[in-house]
Amino acid sequence: MIRKLFKRDNKTIKIKSPVTGMLMPIEEVKDETFASKTLGEGVAIIPGRGSISAPFDGKVLMIAQTKHAIGLESEDGIQVIIHIGIDTVKRGGEGFSVEINKDTKHVKKGQLLVSFDNERMIKEGVDTTVLLIMTEVNGHILSQLLTKGEVSEGESNVSEYIKKKV
């Protein structure tokens, strides 16, 4: 009885894959900034198609002018950057299309955010690896991070955090 009174329930926050494809360890990405986790912990996905969806319900923090990256914050305060490809900033937005209005403030899990010409970029020799980097976790504790296997856009959990209730 006393344990029930003082028990602290924890909430699990699940982050979905923003793209369909194959996971790989982020340490194997061909960009030292991402591979060394300088920006934060994350996952790397070799995309099977060119669409990026919101990994959770939240708000838009930024959309890169070159359309290759988008920043989001979950309702629980976890901030992420979804970065499409390695050195794709050099494309100046070519091959990318932002699918949300520039004034969009809130997004729903699974909502289409960005489209990109994955096949064309691969033919041009561009590394289209999609990175989902958790840049700010606001005290949440990482409980699971997938690094291999196939994932489906908006459906597969790629990481989980625990929010401790006090």
**Tens-place pLDDT, residues 19-71:** 999 999 999 999 999 999 999 999 999 999 999 999 999 999 999 999 999 99
Which helix (H) or strand (E) element contains residue 44? strand 41-47
User: What residues are labeled active site?
Assistant: 83
By residue range, what is the domain housing residue 51? 9-164
Helix (H) or strand (E) run with residue 133 in it: strand 130-136
Counting the structural domains of the chain, the total is 1
> How far apart are alpha carbons 24 and 43 in whole angstroms?
7
- Residue 1, domain member (yes or no): no
Q: Output Rg (C-alpha) for the chain, integer angstroms.
A: 16
Q: Is residue 2 part of a domain?
A: no
Give a yes or no: residue 22 inside a domain.
Answer: yes
